[in-house]
Amino acid sequence: MALEVRKIESSEYERVAEVVNSSFQHLAVQYQSLKGIATFTQYSSSGAIAERDLAGATTYVALIQNIIIGMLQVSDGNHIAMLFVLPELQSRGVGRALVKGADAQSGLKTVNASVNSVMAYMRYGFMPCGADQVAPDGIRFVPMKRS
């Protein structure tokens, strides 16, 4: 089955939010505080993702047979704001395809990675550039960049 990566269409935000939340609940949630979970729940809603795109972010989707299985949102021109793949399809090249597709358009440079995704981002060429930290909004992350 062919994997397709392209920019999101306006009718796809609800499905993208479902993919994000399925993936978050599968693994990343255990590394977040209750405050971080509440913040992420708001940040990952379909409306919030769409609003960021209207404000200048770009969201890419990965599809197999026209079914969205992953997403990546770029903010500030070259920052990965979100990267999620359905749990059952992780470690199969979907994240790499999303990074490659977005990188061709945006020249990706930075990400604030969830603790559980640091190794994946290292495989994509990102390296930690700071310690594990918690933002004022409660989100725990590791800042990463690549040259």
| Dihedral (CA of 48, 121, 31, 21) sign | positive
Q: Write the CATH number of the domain with boundaries 3-109.
A: 3.40.630.30
What is the pTM assigned to this prediction? 0.91
pLDDT digits (tens, 9 = 90+) for 10-54: 999 999 999 998 888 777 666 777 888 888 888 889 999 999 999
Counting every residue, how long is the chain? 147
Q: How far is CA 131 from CA 53, 112, 122, 128, 147, in A?
A: 29, 11, 15, 8, 18
- pLDDT recorded at residue 1: 66
90-140 confidence digits (pLDDT tens): 888 899 999 999 999 989 999 999 988 999 999 999 999 999 999 999 888
